[in-house]
Amino acid sequence: MNDFHIFLQLLLSGVISGSIYGLIALGFVVIYKATEVVNFAQGEIMMMGAYFCYFLITSFHISFLPAFIITLLFASILGILVEVVILRPLVGEPIFSVIMVTVGLATLLRSVVGLIWGHENLAFPSPFPDTTIEIFGVIATPVEITAIIASVGLFIMFFFFFKYSKLGLATRATAFDQRWSFLMGISVRKIFSLAWILASVVASIGGIFLASMGGLDPSMSLIGLKVFPAVVLGGIESIVGAVLGGLIIGIAENLAGGYLSTYFGSGVKELSAFMVLIIVLMIRPYGLFGKKEIIRV
């Protein structure tokens, strides 16, 4: 393997983890745009989806596809529950409370999963074969290829959903101005729930892919924290930006892990994303493509 192959291999792992980050960031941005809630529990919702799917397959011995579909249903219900029970009472509260309530929720979900399933890494009964595919000298597994294809498919679906469908338009209208959309006859409540459903479903799909690649443990929810560098890079207002930000962070991280860990130790891979984040925020306090809010007293 020559240097170029190593680079390509790192790039591929970057694209794979980047597409998962993109999926989570997508959900984060959908929630933020529609409901103005900063969701620190996005990674935990992803983890809940993966664990629920694992639970269905191992405890009820159903095959992957029905388990996958039931998981998506479960994710929708979880999304609605979180929105109605936890975030609706906090509408109109300061952003500090909203951030804190999702941080609390994240802690709660992570510890409940730890309580039930423990902290050991569990092998996920993956439906994908264990073979490897070689493309241009770069090695990938079927699940990784599927993850990339599925993510791209979801991104395109979401793009068209928000651009052309009536519900997507209603969501964008709600994001633009809640009171006006309410007056225009849009049910803002339903849109809030819809945003949470979409975000949880997309996150769960990401979680299931992640579990198929590396198994399950509660620390997988920490992946959810990578959405912050991604959205800061891509702009919290833009769905396309968040997805691209996720990809960039994934690639940057893997390149840093591949080339810099000999100099700075093993943690540099996780750290690099946050270094990028602080530098970006120092230069542009609203993110690279974020909209500068005009505030009036």
Partner 1 sequence: MPSGQYKTSYRDDLKIFQTTWIKFWLGFLLVILTVFPFVAGPYFIYTANLIGIAIIGVLGLNILSGYTGQISLGHSAFIGIGAYAATLLSLKFGIPFWLSLPLAGFITALSGLIIAIPCLRLKGLYLAIATFAFFFIVEYVFVHWDSVTNGTSGLTVPEASVFGIAIDTDIKLYFLILIIDICALSFANNLFRTEVGRAFIAIRDNDISADVIGIDITKYKIYSFMICSFYAGVAGSLYAITLSFIGPEHFSFLMTIEYLAMGLVGGLGTISGSIFGAVFMTVLPEGIRLLRDVLSDDFPFFVTRLADLQSSVYGLVIVLFLIFEPTGLFGLWIRVKNYWLAWPYSYR
Considering only residues 58 through 87, tell me which ones interact with partner 1, judged by CB under 8 A. Answer: 86
> Which of residues 60, 66, 77, 97 is near partner 1 by CB under 8 A?
97
> Which of residues 204, 211, 277, 289 is near partner 1 by CB under 8 A?
277
**Please, what is the minimum distance in Å from the beta carbon of residue 3 to partner 1?**
26
Q: Does 232 engage in binding with partner 1 (CB under 8 A)?
A: yes
Using the contact rule CB under 8 A, the part of the chain among 121-129, 174-182, 188-196, 261-269 near partner 1 is 261-269
Q: Is 185 left (phi over 0), alpha (psi -120 to 50) or beta?
A: left
Nearer to partner 1, 65 or 295 (CB): 295
Count the site residues for partner 1 by CB under 8 A.
46
How far is it, in rounded angstroms, from Cα 56 to Cα 35? 31
Can you read off the two tokens belonging to residue 185?
A: 């006859």
Please return the burial class of 169, using the count of CB atoms within 10 Å of its CB with bins 0-12, 13-18 and 19+.
Answer: middle
Q: Does 33 engage in binding with partner 1 (CB under 8 A)?
A: no
How far is it, in rounded angstroms, from Cα 207 to Cα 292? 33
How far is it, in rounded angstroms, from Cα 127 to Cα 136? 25
Residue with tokens 């960039």: 248
Can you read off the two tokens belonging to residue 47?
A: 């983890």
Q: Does 219 engage in binding with partner 1 (CB under 8 A)?
A: no
Q: Does 270 engage in binding with partner 1 (CB under 8 A)?
A: yes
Q: Does 271 engage in binding with partner 1 (CB under 8 A)?
A: yes
How far is it, in rounded angstroms, from Cα 131 to Cα 214? 15
How far is it, in rounded angstroms, from Cα 196 to Cα 81? 9
Nearer to partner 1, 97 or 165 (CB): 97
Nearer to partner 1, 183 or 295 (CB): 295
The b/e string for 232-243 (b: 16+ C-beta within 10 A; e otherwise) is bbbbbbbbbbbb
Binding residues for partner 1, rule: CB under 8 A, are: 38, 86, 89-90, 93, 95-97, 99-101, 103-112, 114-115, 118, 225, 228-229, 232, 236, 264-265, 267-268, 270-271, 274-275, 277-278, 281-282, 285-287, 295, 297
